[in-house]
Amino acid sequence: MAARSGESLFVTPKPVALMNRVLQIGTDKSEPEIVLDFFAGSASFAHAVMDLNSSENSKRHYICVQIPEPMEDAEVTIADIGKERIRRAAKKIADARDGKLDLEDSGALDLGFKVFKLDRSNFKIWDGAEAAASDNLGKQLEMHVNHMVEASTPEDILYELLLKSGFPLTTSIDKRQMPGGEVYAIAGGALIICLEKNITPELIDAIAEDNPLQVICLDEGFNGNDQLKANAVQTFKARAEAEEREIVFRTV
């Protein structure tokens, strides 16, 4: 069932001032507390967290969960309204702070946020039941020659690999330009994810020089060049031996 229109749906929005008081009572402003709002609605709680961080120079974080329930007579969802509320609140807070002297040396206020959606995998799933049928085995094998979902963006693939490698979504990600291409350095370089579709020996050497603990590359990036892939394995193995540690290298 579609949600009601905005005028009748948010008849009792949570007041930001009240949420500020709840946060002051239930959290410690000296700690990077995490506030979870499982029924975000129009994102009043997120607004309150940013507002309080600005006034108290605190480092609280928020996680908002909201089903993208459609609004009646509109092309937006409740989740869309919440995201727009956060954007506008962040701009209002930033504008209010603009030009003021930072007497408390509080530094820049983090007003950014990320949005994640539950979705299908970016990798095609092997269907054992389909493969069991002799007529469909060839189709299943052919589908997995190019096993990436065409609609997937590099960012989609990046975050799925991040989660599958055991890192939380809040892990720091740095984009680094290297000879031969671009890579993503996770957690300060502990994990390097390379989504280039034309991997070169120069790029492999540059990644190895970065001394990561794990390296993930797209299999299609080697363009069927088994010798280049074998050389990559040996490059990371030699680098690991020189550093007296292990570098886990895999392709997806």
Model confidence at 104, in pLDDT bands (50, 70, 90)? low
Instruction: Please compute the mean of the pLDDT values over residues 188-203 and round it to a whole number.
Output: 95
Q: Give the pLDDT confidence score for residue 2 in this predicted structure.
A: 46
Instruction: Please compute the mean of the pLDDT values over residues 90-101 and round it to a whole number.
Output: 85
For the entire predicted model, the pTM comes to: 0.75
- In DSSP terms, 251 is beta-bridged to 217
Q: What is the sign of the dihedral through the CA atoms of 21, 25, 30 and 35?
A: negative
Q: Flag whether pLDDT at 131 surpasses 60.
A: no
Q: Give the pLDDT confidence score for residue 19 in this predicted structure.
A: 92
Mean pLDDT score of the chain: 86
Q: Flag whether pLDDT at 88 surpasses 70.
A: yes
Cβ atoms of 109 and 42 within 8 Å: the answer is no
Instruction: Please compute the mean of the pLDDT values over residues 202-212 and round it to a whole number.
Output: 94
Cα–Cα distances (Å) from 154 to 161, 168, 175, 184, in that order, read: 11, 18, 12, 11
| Torsion angle in degrees (nearest 10) through CA of 221, 223, 228, 232 | 20
Instruction: Please compute the mean of the pLDDT values over residues 97-124 and round it to a whole number.
Output: 80
Instruction: Please compute the mean of the pLDDT values over residues 165-184 and round it to a whole number.
Output: 93
> Of 12-16, 73-77, 191-195, 221-225, which one has max mean pLDDT?
191-195
